[in-house]
Chains A and B, each alone.
Chain A
Amino acid sequence: MSEHHEHHIAPKSMYFTIFGALMALTFLTVAVAKVDLGRANVIVALAIAGVKASLVVLWFMHVKHNTPLIKLTVGVGFLWLVFLFVITFSDYLSRGMMGWPQNWGATGPVILNTTPPPGVEAHGEGAASHGPAPAAGHAETAAPAHGAPPAPAHTPDTKGH
């Protein structure tokens, strides 16, 4: 198994060419992100990143001129990554397809998506009534942290910075 790795020493110009290509693709991905392509924005961004990663793997990491064992190892690594994504997404993205609750189910974070229901305020007051009188003020300030609306006290604080 001791393959004679020929000391394949690439010329300096090769590294600068790959670097130039990576730079060009970096500015291309920034430029494309400013154009609204709808859903295609994500696909274009991932495609450019994929090309950049391939350039690094093949040329900077010397996989292009390497033993079959190394090529197989790298390929298998990315194959497992594909498995990770395909199997996970076949679950998450298919939820709700058959009329069952969307996203995370009835009591998931979906509730946070809506503007705060009137029940949020009542919940805060209810929590206050549990404690003794001095704690009521504390509970009032703490309550907005659980609900969707931000505490009004935070707003001037944020602007102060």
Chain B
Amino acid sequence: MSSQVLDHSAAHPANPNFQHQFEDLNQQYASTTFGMWVFLVQEILFFGALFCAYAIYRATYPEAYAAASHHLDVTLGTFNTVVLIGSSLTMALAVRCAQLGRNKGVLGYLFTTFMLGNVFLGVKVVEYSDKFKHHLVPGANFYMGGPYNEQAQIYFSMYFAMTGMHALHMIIGAGLLIFFMWKAYNNTYSTEYYGPIEIMGLYWHFVDIVWIFLFPMLYLIA
């Protein structure tokens, strides 16, 4: 048994990314991806609570939700969905390059993912400023008109809370992408060590999944 342990440590003597508390790089990979998934389960429930609040108010005020939803631009929402799913594709391809140890490919795909993420956030800025212009931000100056003026504030509160939380995750993700681009630029990843890119991918895909639900829930209530 002890000879096996020696074998494991001898197998990766040169890899500077091997952390000594693990038995080998395989165990390090398994532990870190498991840890990321535990974090994502917590994130699922965090956004789940927001979706739950959304659903309760929607069940209570369906007409107000429908009326307020008309003030969102479906074209911009669809465009952003395409952009974000596209960024998930490039992220997945970055992970694939990392698995093959191609650092240049990782760098290129991460940069594309980063740019697509910025396009998404840019469109979000346009949408938010439009809401401010048209008095659709909940508060003293809120004015939508129509019979559901007051209840529509609930819808827009949920809109800003959910898309705002999602956008915050995107901003954090963009920051992480810069870090991993720098790591890839320094040829950090190899066929035996690519766990961090895999984990970055898990985070980015999770943010994508949140939007996959946000888009029909907020934009497509006819």
Chain A interface residues (CB < 8 Å from chain B)? 1-5, 7, 9-10, 12, 15-16, 18-19, 22-23, 26-27, 29-30, 33-34, 36, 41, 45-46, 48-49, 52-53, 56-57, 60-62, 67, 69-70, 73-74, 76-78, 80-81, 84-85, 88-89, 92-93, 103-104, 109, 112-113, 115, 145, 148, 150-151, 154-155, 158, 161
Query: Which A residues are in CB contact (< 8 Å) with B93?
Result: 12, 15
The reply to whether B201 and A26 form a contact with Cβ atoms under 8 Å apart is: no
Query: Which A residues are in CB contact (< 8 Å) with B38?
Result: 73
Query: Which A residues are in CB contact (< 8 Å) with B125?
Result: none
Closest partner residue, chain B, to A16 (CB atom): B89
Within 8 Å by CB of B205, from A4, A61, A92, lies A61
Main secondary structure on B side of the interface with A: helix
Task: Report, as a range, how many residues of chain B touch the other chain.
Answer: 35 or more
The reply to whether B151 and A26 form a contact with Cβ atoms under 8 Å apart is: no
The reply to whether A46 and B201 form a contact with Cβ atoms under 8 Å apart is: no
B209 within 8 Å of A by Cβ? yes
Query: Which B residues are in CB contact (< 8 Å) with A84?
Result: 45, 48-49, 52
Q: Total A-B pairs in contact (CB under 8 Å)?
A: 155
B23 within 8 Å of A by Cβ? yes
Given contacts A4-B26, A81-B44, A84-B49, contact A93 B59 (CB under 8 A): yes
B71 within 8 Å of A by Cβ? no
The reply to whether A88 and B52 form a contact with Cβ atoms under 8 Å apart is: yes
- The stretch that binds A, out of B12-20, B142-150, B171-179, is B142-150
Query: Which A residues are in CB contact (< 8 Å) with B45?
Result: 77, 80-81, 84
Query: Which B residues are in CB contact (< 8 Å) with A103?
Result: 60
Q: How far is the CA of A9 from the CA of B198 in the complex (A)?
A: 12
Query: Which B residues are in CB contact (< 8 Å) with A2?
Result: 23-24, 26-27, 30
Within 8 Å by CB of A19, from B85, B145, B216, B221, lies B85
Main secondary structure on A side of the interface with B: helix
Query: Which B residues are in CB contact (< 8 Å) with A89?
Result: 55-56
Query: Which A residues are in CB contact (< 8 Å) with B145?
Result: 150, 155, 158
CB<8 Å pairs between A and B, sample of 27: A2-B23, A7-B99, A7-B191, A26-B215, A29-B215, A30-B220, A33-B216, A33-B221, A33-B222, A45-B217, A48-B216, A52-B209, A53-B213, A57-B209, A60-B89, A60-B91, A60-B201, A61-B205, A70-B33, A77-B41, A77-B45, A81-B48, A109-B150, A109-B151, A113-B61, A154-B143, A161-B134
